Structure 1
Amino acid sequence: MILELLFGAEIRKALVAAAEAGHPPVAAVSRELVERIGAEKASLTNVKQFIGLCIRAVLEEEGFAVEGAGVRLSHDPVFKTGSVYRRQDPQGSANASDLLLRFLESLNDEEAAVALSYLSRRSKT
């Protein structure tokens, strides 16, 4: 049910429009998700993670890449934060900083804290 919704043409257009406007696309689908599966199920952590992965897959197919994560959302019935996307370079060229950012965005909170601690110690020496 969630896959059908997120990979549908109408929602795909809403996700792309949100990404192009610089807004977290999760906000474009949260109310529809609540209507379809209910607020309780939509708010489960694993469901939200799955929704985020699906949205990322849709937007990558449309030529977008994650630009930033953890953007706070206000008045959203499901999500407190979301990622923002940008159109990828048409040639698909990735530079080292893009790769580093993608790596950092993949870290969970504990891993990010360890990395931050390491970099902080490293910069002091």
Structure 2
Amino acid sequence: MHDSLGLKPLVRGIPPIRSRRGPRRRRPAKLHADKGYCYDQLRRWLHKRGIRHRIVRRGIESSQRLGRHRWVVERTVFRLAGCRRLHRRYERRAERFLAFVGISAALISYRRLTT
């Protein structure tokens, strides 16, 4: 599935965020994305939901300006991809797959703290 098709379910699936003051936030304030999400329909959809977006435009801007915000996520995904069981999704049930993601994240954190 193309990345742009998964953006709407991903944004809809974000749980409410607790805050110290005021009501819970139901949606993120900003969204940073690369050229794979450069579609007018996605921009309009985000604008209607009140989410400010920073999507790199194809043929006009380079993706390097987004690097300041993306490197944490990409580094985490890279480390999780190093786990063979997650790299090739052997589990069919989502609950088991998410359990292995949690175990892998715990192992990665443990290794990072002990070195």
- Category of TM-score, reference length = shorter chain: under 0.3
Name the structure, 1 or 2, with higher relative contact order (CA <8 Å, separation 6+): 1
Return the TM-score normalized by structure 1.
0.26
Q: Which has the larger radius of gyration?
A: 2
Return the TM-score normalized by structure 2.
0.28
